[in-house]
């Protein structure tokens, strides 16, 4: 009996020692964040000191891609480590099957305390994927920027303020109240900078006297591409006024409340007052320029771009401020050294490239996601990782970090071998992309764009618009902006054949 007690105590000692050495995992996640609006990325147009700090003290992934660049499928791929056909979330209207294997449940069962706070955005609320959850509710899972409603197993509650700060407040509260004997997995998932972009009050001002750089491909004429690329509905120049925060002034609305645009309804009177003091002068300027016929053709497109990108960056600034609060808390509570901090977004975004403001395509800007990781002692500060990685790699990476085996059914690869400077291991050479939210040749569906799939390796990209029997092929080394479709180029014939074969193989590998 004495022997059993002693061995039991020894087991408990082992478990507690093990638990202490397993890293905490803090997953910071946003929605639609373009790489060019993060200071640490090459070609960045703005400053994000706190996100950059994660990169400086850890690793910046410059070739991190999605399996399917749209909100719900991206989230499902991250949770399951699998491509869309295998996890069932192929488009934004697909139902989420929460009973399937997800990394967070496994990590929770192994002794971690797990929680998710913020934007869940899957069709079907969480059940036991996380031990605790509190998600943005309403607007089809998008939630509101101002005074959002949250849903948890205890019901709904509305909170006053801006969603970016509220999600951070809740995350910090979760961290402070956690069981300190256990390692934790916390996912803080933000709404910014998703459309309709409403920055927090303290970031509504600024940038009125500066112009942000315009992407080189802003006036792309799509001359080498198939006609449906130019016909897609994601042109900045077609954006509706209200999503650019173009609206009547406070004075006008006070005189006739009926003209108040619905997006101002989610704010209280104090927040609306702040909004008007920031935006009324901009909107009066817009009207003046319109009246003087100074916003025609290209001038109008450029004007819209500046209105769009400034609100986008104001939202990113608000996010960066809050990421800073979280990093400070980790420092102050002595958690930084044993916490793997990850920053990513559900996909990238066209911020004016090809004249667009959207995602969905397999072109680099939306196919890529930002990915930054800090893990003291495991990732060397200032690392730049150029290998091809995908959002399905996060689940196995987190499993491995928490000491768990990675099941064979997972499509992704644990990223840990990339943290070593010695690249003497076999890493994947190509990645599969599949986008299903398009329609048919007769009825193209959302954004008037076709379904497509493709393969990318370290140099080339092949895209198949299979329902239209059309292909595109790009040499990314010589044509990084993907302006020159080489599908009919005789010299590229061998590469194209090779890529077509690989696409078939990858589909067999990843669609089960």
Q: Nearer Cβ to Ca ion, position 74 or 168?
A: 74
Number of shown-chain residues binding Ca ion (CB under 5 A): 4
Secondary structure (DSSP) of 218-270: TT---TTS-HHHHHSS-BGGG--GGGGT----HHHHHH-GGG--GGGGGS-HH
Check: CB of residue 52 under 8 Å from CB of residue 375: no
Q: Nearer Cβ to Ca ion, position 30 or 336?
A: 30
* Range in contact with Ca ion (rule: CB under 5 A) among 13-21, 315-323, 342-350, 485-493: 342-350
Check: CB of residue 166 under 8 Å from CB of residue 185: no
Considering only 317, 346, 358, 364, the residue that binds Ca ion (CB under 5 A) is: 346
Shortest separation between residue 285's beta carbon and Ca ion, angstroms: 31
Q: Nearer Cβ to Ca ion, position 121 or 374?
A: 121
Shortest separation between residue 263's beta carbon and Ca ion, angstroms: 19
Considering only 51, 60, 71, 342, the residue that binds Ca ion (CB under 5 A) is: 71
Q: Which residue has the tokens 């044993």?
A: 338
Q: Which of residues 485-504 bind Ca ion (CB under 5 A)?
A: none
SS3 content of the chain, % helix, strand, coil (to 5): 40, 15, 45
Shortest separation between residue 253's beta carbon and Ca ion, angstroms: 31
Q: Nearer Cβ to Ca ion, position 266 or 346?
A: 346
Check: CB of residue 39 under 8 Å from CB of residue 328: no
The C-alpha atoms of residue 105 and residue 402 are separated, in whole angstroms, by 12
- Omega of the bond leading into 193 within 30 degrees of 0 (cis): yes
Find all residues with CB under 8 Å of 395, minimum gap 6, and list them. Answer: 78, 79, 80, 81, 102, 103, 410, 412
Say what the alpha-carbon torsion angle 453, 457, 459, 461 is, to the nearest 10 degrees.
Answer: -10
In the shown chain, the binding pattern of residues 74 to 93 toward Ca ion, with x for contact by CB under 5 A and - for none, equals --------------------
Q: Nearer Cβ to Ca ion, position 346 or 364?
A: 346
The C-alpha atoms of residue 297 and residue 42 are separated, in whole angstroms, by 31
Shortest separation between residue 90's beta carbon and Ca ion, angstroms: 15
Q: Which of residues 28-47 bind Ca ion (CB under 5 A)?
A: 31-32
The C-alpha atoms of residue 74 and residue 89 are separated, in whole angstroms, by 9
* Range in contact with Ca ion (rule: CB under 5 A) among 50-58, 100-108, 148-156, 339-347: 339-347
Q: Nearer Cβ to Ca ion, position 32 or 220?
A: 32
* Range in contact with Ca ion (rule: CB under 5 A) among 95-103, 195-203, 346-354, 378-386: 346-354
| ∠ Cα 405 510 392 (to 5°) | 50
Q: Nearer Cβ to Ca ion, position 108 or 141?
A: 141
Residue 392: closest CA among 145, 74, 113, 7: 74
If one asks whether residue 437 binds Ca ion (CB under 5 A), the answer comes out as: no
Residue 77: closest CA among 93, 91, 61, 63: 91
* Range in contact with Ca ion (rule: CB under 5 A) among 5-13, 15-23, 68-76, 101-109: 68-76
Widest pairwise Cα distance in the chain: 93
* Range in contact with Ca ion (rule: CB under 5 A) among 23-31, 45-53, 60-68, 226-234: 23-31
Q: Nearer Cβ to Ca ion, position 104 or 366?
A: 366
Q: Which of residues 391-410 bind Ca ion (CB under 5 A)?
A: none
**Which residues would be at the binding site for Ca ion (CB under 5 A)?**
31-32, 71, 346
């Amino acid at each position: 009996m004495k022997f059993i007690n002693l061995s039991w105590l020894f087991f408990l000692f082992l478990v507690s020692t093990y638990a202490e050495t397993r890293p905490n995992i803090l997953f910071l996640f946003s929605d639609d964040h373009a790489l060019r609006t993060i200071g640490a990325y090459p070609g960045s147009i703005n400053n994000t000191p706190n996100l950059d700090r994660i990169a400086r003290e850890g690793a910046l992934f410059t070739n991190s891609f999605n399996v399917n660049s749209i909100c719900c499928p991206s989230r499902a791929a991250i949770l399951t480590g699998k491509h869309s056909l295998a996890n069932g979330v192929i488009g934004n209207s697909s139902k989420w099957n929460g009973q399937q294997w997800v990394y967070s449940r496994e990590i929770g069962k192994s002794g971690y305390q797990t929680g998710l706070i913020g934007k869940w955005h899957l069709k079907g609320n969480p059940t036991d994927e996380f031990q605790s959850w509190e998600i943005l509710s309403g607007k089809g899972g998008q939630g509101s920027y101002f005074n959002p409603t949250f849903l948890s197993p205890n019901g709904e509650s509305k909170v006053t303020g801006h969603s970016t700060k509220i999600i951070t407040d809740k995350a910090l509260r979760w961290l402070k109240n956690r069981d300190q004997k256990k390692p934790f997995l916390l996912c803080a998932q933000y709404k910014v900078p998703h459309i309709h972009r409403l920055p927090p009050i303290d970031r509504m001002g600024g940038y009125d006297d500066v112009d942000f750089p315009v992407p080189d491909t802003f006036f792309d004429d799509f001359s080498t591409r198939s006609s449906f690329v130019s016909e897609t509905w994601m042109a900045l120049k077609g954006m509706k006024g209200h999503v650019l925060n173009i609206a009547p002034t406070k004075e006008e609305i006070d005189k006739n409340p009926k003209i108040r645009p619905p997006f101002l309804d989610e704010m209280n009177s104090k927040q609306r007052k702040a909004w008007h003091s920031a935006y009324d002068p901009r909107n009066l300027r817009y009207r003046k320029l319109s009246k003087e016929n100074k916003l025609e053709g290209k001038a109008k497109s450029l004007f819209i771009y500046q209105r769009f990108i400034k609100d986008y960056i104001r939202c990113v600034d608000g996010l960066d401020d809050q990421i800073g609060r979280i990093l400070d808390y980790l420092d102050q509570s002595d958690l930084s050294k044993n916490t793997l901090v990850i920053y990513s977004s559900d996909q990238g975004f066209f911020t004016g490239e090809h004249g667009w403001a959207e995602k969905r395509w397999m072109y680099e800007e939306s196919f890529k996601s930002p990915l930054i990781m800090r893990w003291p002692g495991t990732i060397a500060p200032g690392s730049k990782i150029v290998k091809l990685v995908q959002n399905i790699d996060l689940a196995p990476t987190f499993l491995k970090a928490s000491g768990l085996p990675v099941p064979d059914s997972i499509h992704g690869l644990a990223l840990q071998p990339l943290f070593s400077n010695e690249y003497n291991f076999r890493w994947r050479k190509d990645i599969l992309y599949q986008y299903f939210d398009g329609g048919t040749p007769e009825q193209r569906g959302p954004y008037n764009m076709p379904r497509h799939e493709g393969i990318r390796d370290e140099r080339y990209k092949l895209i198949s618009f299979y329902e239209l029997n059309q292909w595109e092929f790009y040499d990314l080394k010589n044509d990084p902006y993907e302006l020159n479709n080489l599908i009919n180029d005789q010299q590229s014939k061998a590469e194209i054949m090779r890529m077509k074969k690989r696409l078939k193989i990858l589909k067999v590998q990843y669609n089960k």
